[in-house]
């Protein structure tokens, strides 16, 4: 039922409307009435009718004044104005106020019911419109994250022109403005195959952890590009700051995910680029790194500078011929030797496979290329495989495709073993040099990842990556452990004050030192000293 309130200073009009309409046969009920606008207003506020019928000419407060107040404070109420004056000015003012109907006295019951029904349909239509708007609004709110992700996805792909990017992002309250940008792509998958629901649960846990780490900085924008794939836009005022932020973020994410889930994550990092158009350039670099995962391995942090050698002053991507032995030895994995050899042999045609002369030729080629590769690394194939010292005899013994396959796998495996040992030694030397420097300088409050990287002559971003991958801990974690171990020694073997010990191990702030110590040891420096 729709509630109707009547206001008219003529009692005969009010009685006529009240008695002439069979309210019980309609969709309306007369909930109240008043003789003027002033006395009607508090009753209207109390009863909250759906429709107000009011005369224009009334003492104290006329119908137009009442309508203005009602429309301002209770805009949902529909107004039907009745008047004994057929004057255009009155009708125009009534419409301007927002009245739905303007009726002239005397008013018949049928005419009034027709107007009420007309207003009722208006109320019903408006209610449907509001419900539709609310429904759309709710759908938009529910889908806002999807729309936001789609917008950022189009941004990194270069679909949105830079000049429109700021305005489009502003619609989703995204502050995209920055001097420099860098893209980080995180791809995760389950280590072992579990039931689908468990795998999904693990991926969700991984995503939550990534969200928590990324949420710690306002300069980071994150969105999802698909199952297990998250893209992060890092903003900053300089390329150096961006790189440090990006690699620090990557290490934190990798640490949290490995510690709390069974997921493997690959993190690919593009270079810092200037301007909004640089977002797409950095994304393309980060996305291209996935093509080299089979070379560098999974579950690693890789930056574009880690896979781009410098040739002639210009950086170019590594190009690999899948059947080229030299490229495979440089960039391949020992675990892929069997697959490589199979692909290599599969490319032989029937004539080549049946020709012993051709098998001798390719056998010789494989051995010579492997020998040259090992020689470039400072080794000798003859030392690794003495039987190749008499190369002609070695090759002549390969008189079948099966023997060729065995020989090729053996030669390549030996070459990989030598290569991997040399690479490990190379990093071993760098990491040991860094650890030694940290051990000798941990008391310096200004020691940092940048200063240590400079000392070992490696870029900060690359040093950060190899240090964490080779030691299993970040640079900051290693430095903190070194400082805490020394602090423990001083607390037990000297009478130095905690403030003096804090300063001697590289902390200017006693409170911060105490916080770090308690976090590491589960007790304060004082409690540790007093522990028997």
> Taking the domains of the chain in order of start, what are their residue ranges?
2-128, 179-319, 327-427, 442-530
In this predicted structure, the answer to whether residue 451 has a pLDDT above a threshold of 60 is yes
Most confident of 196-210, 386-400, 496-510: 496-510
Q: In a 10 Å sphere around its CB, with 0-12 CB exposed, 13-18 middle and 19+ buried, how is residue 531 labelled?
A: exposed
Largest Cα–Cα separation, the chain: 129
In this predicted structure, the answer to whether residue 309 has a pLDDT above a threshold of 50 is no
Instruction: Tell me what pLDDT residue 315 has.
Output: 38
The DSSP secondary-structure symbol of 492 reads: H
Instruction: Tell me what pLDDT residue 311 has.
Output: 36
Count of residues making up the chain: 532
Instruction: Tell me what pLDDT residue 49 has.
Output: 95
Q: What is the 3-state secondary structure (H, E, C) of 262-313?
A: CEEEEEEECCCEECCHHHHHHHHHHHHHHHHHHHHCCCCEEEHHHCCCEECC
Instruction: Tell me what pLDDT residue 184 has.
Output: 94
Instruction: Tell me what pLDDT residue 247 has.
Output: 84
* Mean pLDDT of the chain, nearest integer: 83
Most confident of 145-159, 311-325, 478-492: 478-492
pLDDT digits (tens, 9 = 90+) for 189-242: 876 555 555 566 778 888 888 888 888 777 889 898 877 889 999 998 888 888
Instruction: Tell me what pLDDT residue 313 has.
Output: 38
CB atoms within 10 A of CB 89: 8
Instruction: Tell me what pLDDT residue 198 has.
Output: 59
Greater pLDDT, 322 or 372: 372
In this predicted structure, the answer to whether residue 27 has a pLDDT above a threshold of 50 is yes
* Total-model pTM: 0.44
Instruction: Tell me what pLDDT residue 225 has.
Output: 83
Confidence bin at 87 (pLDDT 50/70/90): low
Which CATH architecture best describes the domain 179-319?
A: 2-Layer Sandwich (3.30)
CATH of 2-128, one of 3.40.50.800, 3.10.620.30, 3.20.20.70, 3.40.50.2300: 3.40.50.2300
Greater pLDDT, 66 or 340: 66
pLDDT digits (tens, 9 = 90+) for 111-157: 999 999 999 999 999 899 888 888 877 776 666 678 888 889 999 99
What average pLDDT does this structure show over 22-46? 92
Distance from first CA to last CA of the chain, Å, rounded?
83
Greater pLDDT, 304 or 443: 443
In this predicted structure, the answer to whether residue 417 has a pLDDT above a threshold of 90 is no
The DSSP code sequence of 176-217 is ---SEEEEEEEEEEESS---HHHHHHHHHHHHHHHHHHHTT-
pLDDT digits (tens, 9 = 90+) for 144-195: 678 888 889 999 998 988 888 888 888 888 889 999 999 999 998 876 555 5
Taking domain 442-530, whether its CATH number is 3.10.129.10 is answered by no
Confidence bin at 295 (pLDDT 50/70/90): low
């Amino acid at each position: 039922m729709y509630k109707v309130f009547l206001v008219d200073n003529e009692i005969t009009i009010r009685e006529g409307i009240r008695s002439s309409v069979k309210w019980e046969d309609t969709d309306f009920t007369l909930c109240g009435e008043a003789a003027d606008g002033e006395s009607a207003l508090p009753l209207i506020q109390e009863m909250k009718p759906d429709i107000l019928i009011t005369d224009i000419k009334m003492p104290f407060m006329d119908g137009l004044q009442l309508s203005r107040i009602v429309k301002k404070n209770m805009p949902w109420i529909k107004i039907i104005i009745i008047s004994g004056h057929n004057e255009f000015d009155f009708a125009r003012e009534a419409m301007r106020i927002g009245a739905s109907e303007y009726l002239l006295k005397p008013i018949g019951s049928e005419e009034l019911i027709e107007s009420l029904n007309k207003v009722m349909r208006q109320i019903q239509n408006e209610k449907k419109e509001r419900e539709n708007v609310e429904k759309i609004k709710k759908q938009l709110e529910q889908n806002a994250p999807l729309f936001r992700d789609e917008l950022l996805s189009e941004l990194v792909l270069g679909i949105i022109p830079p000049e429109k990017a700021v305005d489009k992002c502003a619609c989703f309250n995204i502050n995209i403005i920055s001097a420099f940008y860098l893209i980080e792509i995180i791809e995760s998958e389950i280590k072992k195959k579990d039931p689908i629901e468990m795998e999904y649960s693990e991926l969700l846990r991984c995503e939550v952890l990534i969200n928590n780490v990324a949420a710690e900085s306002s300069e980071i924008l994150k969105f999802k590009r698909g199952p297990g794939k998250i893209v992060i836009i890092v903003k900053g005022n300089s390329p150096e700051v961006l790189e440090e932020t990006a690699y620090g973020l990557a290490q934190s994410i990798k640490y949290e995910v490995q510690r709390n889930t069974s997921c493997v994550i690959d993190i690919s990092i593009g270079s810092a680029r200037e301007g909004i158009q640089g977002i797409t350039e950095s994304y393309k670099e980060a996305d291209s790194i996935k093509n080299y995962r089979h070379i560098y391995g999974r579950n690693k942090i890789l930056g574009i500078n880690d896979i781009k050698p410098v040739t002639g002053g210009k950086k170019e991507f590594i190009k690999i011929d899948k059947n080229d032995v030299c490229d495979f030895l440089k960039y391949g994995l020992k675990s892929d030797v069997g697959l490589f050899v199979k692909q290599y042999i599969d490319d032989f045609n029937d004539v080549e496979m049946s020709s012993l002369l051709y098998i001798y030729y390719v056998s010789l080629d494989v051995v010579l290329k492997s020998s040259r590769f090992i020689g470039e690394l400072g080794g000798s194939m003859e030392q690794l495989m003495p039987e190749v010292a008499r190369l002609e005899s070695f090759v002549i013994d390969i008189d079948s495709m099966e023997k060729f396959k065995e020989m090729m796998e053996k030669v390549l495996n030996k070459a990989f073993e030598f290569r991997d040992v040399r690479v490990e030694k190379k990093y071993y030397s760098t990491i040991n040099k860094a650890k030694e420097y940290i051990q000798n300088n941990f008391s310096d409050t200004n020691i940092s990842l940048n200063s240590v990287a400079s000392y070992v002559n490696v870029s900060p971003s690359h040093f950060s990556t190899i240090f964490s991958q080779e030691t299993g801990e970040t640079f900051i974690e290693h430095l903190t452990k070194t400082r805490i171990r020394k602090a423990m020694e001083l607390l037990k073997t000297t009478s130095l004050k905690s403030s003096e010990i804090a300063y001697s191990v590289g902390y200017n702030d006693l409170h911060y030192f105490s916080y770090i110590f308690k976090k590491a040891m589960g007790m304060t420096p004082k409690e540790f000293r007093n522990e028997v």
